[in-house]
Amino acid sequence: MAIEKVSISKKYHGKVPTDSNGKPIPKSEWSKKRPYRWAVRWFASDGTRYSRSFKTRKEAERFAEEKQADVREGTGDEPKPITLKEFKKVYLSLRGDVTEGTRVEHARALKYLAEHFGGDQLINKVRPLDARRYISWYRKHKHRDRCPAPATVNKMVRECRRIFREAMECSLVRSNPFDGIRQEKVGQPGWQFIKPEHFQALIKASPSLRWRGMITLAYCCGLRQGEILNLTWGDVDFEGQRIRVVRKTAAELIKEWTPKDKDLRIVPLPDAAVNVLAEMQLEANERQTYVFVNSKGPAAGDRIKRQNLPRGFQALRRRAGVPKCTFHDLRKSYCTNLAGAVPLHVVQELAGHADIRTTRKHYLQVRPELIDAARKALDEVIANASVSE
């Protein structure tokens, strides 16, 4: 640890001014006539001297106070130098607590960081200005002949902030260069509320019992795609009419998987979901662990892959004559339907949202019948006002 007291002093730069005779002015006059910055200096445990300069004394004193506290606690040494290439391996090995999708996204962010800065860039040398230049570069970086959308740029800011936060927690950097970067304001994309009659149309148009089950669990239970595809028969409680959304550890017939909200979540099973799951269980193989498996081809009996869902759902939707929507809109419609019957914090809990603002902002929509009710109420108020006059 650093054992020396942190000091503050003036650090002069530029040539020494001269007097009228062309001679250098004395040191006693430097502070008035020679440009300078305020330098904070301290020593590491190995005797290495460190310094950092600031424009004002106030900034230097604030930094010196923080550094002196580090010295007292034995953490005054500068972070151990590590390159982006080295940190990528360390980071991905440490983040076993995130979903596979999140790991892929963070690996992509680290790849772009290395592409911009170079794999040999020391992460403790990335400054806030460098972080801003990186985001500016990423904003113009084309992928498949297209620049990233503002929402994608915002996502990159969040990912880089999280990556460097982990570096701070590992004492590899002193501060997070991405902390002060503001995200762009982005309008929320609209989504299609799926009415109960549209849900019934999707069920009737479903080409298989498997599709009926997936659509029912999304619309009637609000399960995410990953939660549906990783559902096992051990998670279904027919007697209690509920489903457990829980983390899976790797076993003989089970693949490792972590739900997005990470915690155990209990979701009630309405009769429609119980009926379709009971029907599926009757047709399931005795050794079948997952509820939804491939029925044909070389992957028969294996868990369905999520990339097969979007295209299949769109074909089903068109066949059912339902307005354009996504599979995820089924889950959002579940939240909207539920919000009309239970308090918002219950919707949040059943949906598995960590923040109630996510539920309110992204998952609730004013239903058409409520808009009509509001219009009729206004008509009635105006009509009564006209009569009273």
Measure the CA–CA gap between 191 and 187, rounded to whole angstroms: 12
Measure the CA–CA gap between 26 and 59, rounded to whole angstroms: 28
Q: What is the model's pLDDT at position 71?
A: 66
**Tokens coding 129:** 């200005």
Phi, psi of 274 (to 5 degrees): -60, -45
Q: Please report, for the domain that includes residue 256, its CATH number.
A: 1.10.443.10
**In terms of domains, do 241 and 325 share one?**
yes
Element (H, E) at 386: helix 368-388
The answer to whether residue 381 is domain-embedded is no
Tally Cβ neighbours within 10 Å of residue 282.
8
More confident residue, 1 or 222: 222
The answer to whether residue 181 is domain-embedded is no
The answer to whether residue 187 is domain-embedded is no
Measure the CA–CA gap between 316 and 310, rounded to whole angstroms: 10
Measure the CA–CA gap between 275 and 256, rounded to whole angstroms: 28
3-class secondary structure, 103: helix
**In terms of domains, do 235 and 205 share one?**
yes
Last residue of one domain, picked from the residues 76, 95, 127: 76
The percentage of the chain sitting over the pLDDT mark of 70, rounded to a whole number, equals: 91
Predicted confidence band of residue 251 (pLDDT cuts 50, 70, 90)? confident
DSSP, residue by residue, 262-283: -S-EEEE--HHHHHHHHHHHHH
**In terms of domains, do 201 and 325 share one?**
yes
The count of structural domains within the chain is 3
**Tokens coding 200:** 């019934």
For the ranges 141-145, 147-151, 177-181, 200-204, the lowest mean pLDDT is seen at 141-145
Which of 67-76, 157-166, 258-267 has the highest mean predicted lDDT (pLDDT)?
A: 157-166
More confident residue, 383 or 349: 349
More confident residue, 257 or 212: 212
Fill in the amino acid letter for 378.
L
Domain, as residue range, for 122:
84-169
| Whole-number Cα distances in Å, 135 to 91, 109, 294 | 21, 11, 42
The answer to whether residue 96 is domain-embedded is yes
Q: What angle do CA 214, 219, 224 make, to 5 degrees?
A: 65
Report the C-alpha dihedral over residues 312, 318, 324, 325, rounded to 10 degrees: -30
206-220 mean pLDDT: 95
Nearest partner of 179 among 157, 200, 195, judged by Cα: 157
pTM of the entire structure?
0.63
Q: Please report, for the domain that includes residue 134, its CATH number.
A: 1.10.150
The answer to whether residue 375 is domain-embedded is no
Phi, psi of 325 (to 5 degrees): -160, 175
Dmax over CA atoms of the chain, in Å, equals 105
**In terms of domains, do 160 and 219 share one?**
no
156-168 mean pLDDT: 92
**In terms of domains, do 219 and 310 share one?**
yes
Helix axes 309-320 and 196-205, enclosed angle (nearest 10): 110
Measure the CA–CA gap between 164 and 173, rounded to whole angstroms: 8
Nearest partner of 202 among 218, 190, 189, judged by Cα: 218
Q: What is the pLDDT of residues 281-295, one digit of tens each?
A: 999 888 889 999 887
Predicted confidence band of residue 3 (pLDDT cuts 50, 70, 90)? very low
**pLDDT beyond 80 at 130:** yes
**In terms of domains, do 290 and 356 share one?**
yes
The answer to whether residue 258 is domain-embedded is yes
The answer to whether residue 139 is domain-embedded is yes
**In terms of domains, do 159 and 249 share one?**
no
**pLDDT beyond 80 at 354:** yes
**In terms of domains, do 45 and 100 share one?**
no
**In terms of domains, do 295 and 347 share one?**
yes
Q: What is the pLDDT of residues 253-272, one digit of tens each?
A: 788 888 887 678 999 999 99
The answer to whether residue 282 is domain-embedded is yes
Report the C-alpha dihedral over residues 151, 154, 155, 160, rounded to 10 degrees: 160
Q: What is the model's pLDDT at position 363?
A: 77
Tally Cβ neighbours within 10 Å of residue 160.
24
**In terms of domains, do 265 and 137 share one?**
no
Q: What is the pLDDT of residues 86-108, one digit of tens each?
A: 998 888 888 776 677 788 888 99
**In terms of domains, do 67 and 96 share one?**
no
Tally Cβ neighbours within 10 Å of residue 144.
4
Measure the CA–CA gap between 74 and 286, rounded to whole angstroms: 60
**Alpha-carbon 327 to chain mean position:** 20
Question: 178 and 161 in contact (C-beta within 8 Å)?
Answer: yes
**In terms of domains, do 48 and 111 share one?**
no
